Structure 1
């Protein structure tokens, strides 16, 4: 009672306020700085097919070197028939696991679930066949990424896949920040096929600008839909353009003030538990959410679905 009585003195009030503010300051000081974050994921790898420059081993190592340089832990979503079903390609995939990166499933041969000639059972078998190979790799996770980001164009395929993933314990490894790096990679290879010594500076700049534009657009969309910055999961590919310029992509994100997190950290956010209610779900999770909510063709929508047309046309205008 004496303490309670003394607590109401001016000195006690000042002491309480001081202790309260000290507690708040200490709490804030140990909280991590909040910033927009991004997790790096790569599809379709490891590819053993040839490119005009760099061997399969060189491309794979260049990607791993760029990630190691920046201390980034990423995820590789394996399409096994691209090489992991062969000893040489399996070794490339294993190098990712050995380096501490996650390994996920991206089917055996990359079929399209929306193909009317492909049955639900055939698509599911593709996942199981790939799993038999990648489950022996270090870093293996029960993560599945839909090919073409298409989750079924009929209720039977959509619901059948959701039930299949749940039954087998797979996470839907959503993408929030979709890119058209594959389209610019096609242009890069087209130019190098004509001239392996070609000046690639315009393509590099177009690529970095493309990544920046998509990142800012999807960040704005997350704020519109969720009222906050979600940890973005970017989709890139195991290809030549990233073997050449992945380090520049990571540097650009850092210069934009974005932090880089692991895919597991990003997937722990509640937004990645959502299942947009659409007849044919898919694409970026954020785009799928927008369509589920009836947002329609919002400002900037076209630049998110043009598959890099804007950048390609600009390169053509520059003579590429």
Structure 2
């Protein structure tokens, strides 16, 4: 029976990764955060308090993370730059996430404009302790045309950048929006249901992406987790890290995770706004149904469950 091209490619990728990657004794995860430091006002905690709470949670668990800096959200001002510097001084990596967070999939954003955003952000981040020449695409979107996608891939190679891929994507931002909405309406609101929904969401995504990695690669890969520099993580990052430990996962560093050969792959069919694993699946011809709808929603399941509770 002839072997389909998709099946042959899947087998080849798995064989390469098994040959080159160190065998992990347990599933591992690296913590990364986007859009920080964010100086926007939120209920309960000031920007400085949010930043300090996240760093305290990471220090408590001895986690070395990475902050992908969106310079226009705060690092372009002295008070925000100080918050970013605190990450580097705390032993965390600092990397590039543009200045104004434009969407490369937008017809209004040109390749040249996007590349300039990377260069302008680099001038700020490169001077900070912990700087790594990693770039993460905003919205995890590599462009709405082949010209943009291929142009950015060539640009990153020329500039010496690593693509700051995400494998374990989450919708923490959606649940954060819900949290802020509740507290704006009632500063004394009981937010425990949101905490429980958030932890359940992280657990579901972690298990689903682990299963997808095993399906596509034939092994556990070191997962790169995407979270954001926001209120929900300032309040409950400690719980998120502890949950992974309780699940039996080990915490690795982003640099150690990116050393795995899976993060050298450049899937032909990107899944806009989604993880590397979903893009790999799309490249192998898997459908949305095959990959799993709950990996592609924006926390809709958890938001609907909160609505059923009257929230």
Give CA deviations for 1:193-240 in whole Å, capped at 9, x if unaligned.
Answer: 011111111000000000000000000000000000000000000000
The equivalent of 2:64 in structure 1 is: 73
Which residue of 205, 216, 226 maps to 1:225?
216
CA apart distance, 1:280 = 6.6
State how far apart, in whole Å, the 2-side matches of 1:279 and 1:285 are: 8
CA apart distance, 1:129 = 0.5
The equivalent of 1:178 in structure 2 is: 169
Which residue of 51, 69, 75 maps to 1:60?
51
The equivalent of 1:99 in structure 2 is: 90
Could you tell me which runs of 5 or more consecutive residues in structure 2 were left unpaired when the two chains were aligned. 1-21
State how far apart, in whole Å, the 2-side matches of 1:136 and 1:33 are: 34
State which structure, 1 or 2, has the greater radius of gyration over its C-alpha atoms.
Answer: 1
Equivalent residues of 2:278, 2:291 under 8 A apart: no
Give CA deviations for 1:158-204 in whole Å, capped at 9, x if unaligned.
Answer: 00000000000000010000000000000000000011111111000
The equivalent of 1:22 in structure 2 is: none
CA 1:291–1:153 in 2, change beyond 3 Å: closer, same or farther?
same
- Helix, strand or coil at the partner of 2:202: helix
Aligned CA RMSD, in angstroms, stands at: 1.3
CA apart distance, 1:122 = 0.1
The equivalent of 1:236 in structure 2 is: 227
Equivalent residues of 1:108, 1:127 under 8 A apart: yes
State how far apart, in whole Å, the 1-side matches of 2:23 and 2:214 are: 20
CA apart distance, 1:300 = 5.9
Equivalent residues of 1:60, 1:243 under 8 A apart: yes
Which has the higher mean CA deviation after the structures are superposed, 294-303 or 91-100?
294-303
Which residue of 291, 300, 305 maps to 1:309?
300
The equivalent of 2:15 in structure 1 is: none
The equivalent of 2:9 in structure 1 is: none
Which residue of 111, 120, 144 maps to 1:120?
111
CA apart distance, 1:153 = 1.4
CA apart distance, 1:282 = 5.6
CA 1:316–1:282 in 2, change beyond 3 Å: closer, same or farther?
closer
CA apart distance, 1:299 = 4.7
Which residue of 257, 264, 272 maps to 1:273?
264
The equivalent of 2:34 in structure 1 is: 43
TM-score, normalised to structure 2's length?
0.91
The equivalent of 1:258 in structure 2 is: 249
CA 1:282–1:209 in 2, change beyond 3 Å: closer, same or farther?
closer
Equivalent residues of 2:31, 2:225 under 8 A apart: yes
State how far apart, in whole Å, the 2-side matches of 1:49 and 1:70 are: 27
Runs of 4+ in 1 over 6 A off after TM superposition: none
Equivalent residues of 2:167, 2:276 under 8 A apart: yes
The equivalent of 1:287 in structure 2 is: 278
- Helix, strand or coil at the partner of 1:294: coil
Pairing 1:156–2:156 present: no
State how far apart, in whole Å, the 2-side matches of 1:301 and 1:105 are: 30
The equivalent of 1:10 in structure 2 is: none
How many residue pairs end up in the alignment? 290
